[in-house]
Amino acid sequence: MSTPSNQTSIANPAPLGLLGFGMTTCLLNLHNAGIISLSIVIIAMGFALGGAAQIIAGIMEFKKNNTFGATAFTAYGFFWWSLIIIWINPFEGINASDSKSMGFYLGLWCIFTLFMFLGTLKHNRASQVVFGTLTVLFFLLALSDFTGSETIHTIAGYLGIVCGLSAIYNAMGQILNQEFGKTIMKL
């Protein structure tokens, strides 16, 4: 039996994208909460799983004609790559980031994420939690940069851990529910 030319039968890319996002977000926010230092571990995870895995998932979502998933995974994958470039600043003669520019950078991501959160109002509760906590996380991180408040930065870190764990839960729920053909984890 053949499928119509506009349909493809590929695996659900969302769990890969959610794991890439969730695991990297947890790791970075362990740093933001003051639990671990910023190291090559976070940069490598951001490049590979946060960046590449999400971009691959986003491209697969384009193939499935899922505009929301394609936009989310591709954009957040490139977020991780841009953040790594900001941290390592490989461009000679370009000023390093400062608190004000980082505040605007994170503020723009907050606005984007707020609109993506609105899109999740048609999705499962787990996705709403991921995007809702991510919206507040970006807001707190931007506020921390604008104000210089370490307290806000630490609070953001703990919220980021919750956000990352919610994405991992969402990914694992999708995988296990599909594997068992029934609801194992409520989404």
Element (H, E) at 138: helix 125-147
Please give the pLDDT value at position 9: 83
Exposed (0-12), middle (13-18) or buried (19+): which is 78, by Cβ within 10 Å?
middle
Residue 172 has pLDDT above 60, yes or no: yes
pTM: 0.94
Q: Taking all residues of the chain, what is their mean pLDDT, rounded to a whole number?
A: 95
Residue 2 has pLDDT above 90, yes or no: no
Task: Determine the Cα–Cα distance for residues 74 and 62; give it in Å rounded to an integer.
Answer: 9
Residue 7 has pLDDT above 60, yes or no: no
- Banded pLDDT at 66 (limits 50, 70, 90): very high
Residue 5 has pLDDT above 90, yes or no: no
Percent share of the chain, pLDDT over 70? 96
Task: Determine the Cα–Cα distance for residues 82 and 184; give it in Å rounded to an integer.
Answer: 36
CA distances from 48 to 58, 67, 83 (A): 14, 23, 13
pLDDT digits (tens, 9 = 90+) for 101-145: 999 999 999 999 999 999 999 999 999 999 999 999 999 999 999
Residue 8 has pLDDT above 90, yes or no: no
Please give the pLDDT value at position 14: 98
Answer positive or negative: Cα dihedral of 99, 25, 60, 70. negative
Segment 173-186 mean pLDDT: 97
Name, in order, each residue with C-beta under 8 angstroms of 130's C-beta and a sequence gap of 6 or more: 18, 21, 22, 120, 163, 166, 167, 170
